[in-house]
């Protein structure tokens, strides 16, 4: 039986990349109730201007807070977090956990001191990302790689569509730098969509690297804020698309691997 005292956690992303975060958080708080809100009506966020994106996120998250009354919100989107997280915290009292490029741990862990940050073009161009480099990467060579297509390719593969190796390889190729005998040894995955493709990223890399996924750190932060689980098992996660669509059968089957089996058809 679900524990009525267990928290409700809202996981928000522009699309389905935040499923990788949901999976990690469910592993540490299996007792919680989860609502996964995918703002597919505005996907991809990189097409929105900064003011438009901030207003969009505030509107959609605000409506979800009124509807689901979560105890915590995970902003499982790097682009939204680097731009709208401070705005959300200023407008709403619920705790927020954001997703930002893991530049600090990557540079601390790197042996070659040659690190790539692979994100959307919007994320890698933000001043927030560049400030992280100035703060934490003084002894590292950091390559910023803005991928125009990888998030869309990840969603296509999740839905069962064909995604060519060559298309993925072209998106990740700029990450791999051999600079004065020092090769890239860590790639920061600065978009939650990218871990959906992790087996293929590993297979298509020209040499082995550590692909740094932010999801485990987010899960640890959730436990810091909400505490340890109660020992009960919560209900399956509920997925809501802002467009109001329901997932096609192939996508619905894939979503069960991430613990999602309830779908709300109404738009948000």
Q: What residues act catalytically?
A: 77, 191
Give dist(CA 240, CA 38) in Å, integer: 6
**Structure tokens of 56?**
């969009």
**Structure tokens of 7?**
């928290």
CA within 13 Å, CB half, 253? 5
In 10 A of CB 91, how many CB atoms? Answer: 12
């Amino acid at each position: 039986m679900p524990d009525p005292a267990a928290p409700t956690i809202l996981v928000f992303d522009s699309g389905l990349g935040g499923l990788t975060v949901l999976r990690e958080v469910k592993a540490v708080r299996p007792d919680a109730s989860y609502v996964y809100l995918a703002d597919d009506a505005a996907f991809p966020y990189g097409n929105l201007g900064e003011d438009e994106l901030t207003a969009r996120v505030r509107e959609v998250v605000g409506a979800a807070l009124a509807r689901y009354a979560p105890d915590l919100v995970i902003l499982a989107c790097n682009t939204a977090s680097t731009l709208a997280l401070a705005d959300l915290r200023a407008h709403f009292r619920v705790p927020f956990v954001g997703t930002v490029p893991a530049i600090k741990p990557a540079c601390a862990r790197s042996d070659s001191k040659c690190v790539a940050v692979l994100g959307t073009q919007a994320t890698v161009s933000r001043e927030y990302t560049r400030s992280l480099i100035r703060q934490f990467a003084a002894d590292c060579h950091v390559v910023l790689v803005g991928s125009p297509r990888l998030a869309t390719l990840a969603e296509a593969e999740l839905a069962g569509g064909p995604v060519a190796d060559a298309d993925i390889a072209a998106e990740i190729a700029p990450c791999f730098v051999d600079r004065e005998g020092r090769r890239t040894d860590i790639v920061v995955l600065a978009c939650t969509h990218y871990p959906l493709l992790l087996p293929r990223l590993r297979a298509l890399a020209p040499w082995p690297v550590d692909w740094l996924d932010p999801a485990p750190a987010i899960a640890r932060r959730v436990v810091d804020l909400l505490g340890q689980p109660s020992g009960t098992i919560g209900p399956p996660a509920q997925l809501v698309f802002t467009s109001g669509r329901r997932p096609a059968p192939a996508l619905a089957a894939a979503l069960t691997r991430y613990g999602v089996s309830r779908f709300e058809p109404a738009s948000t």
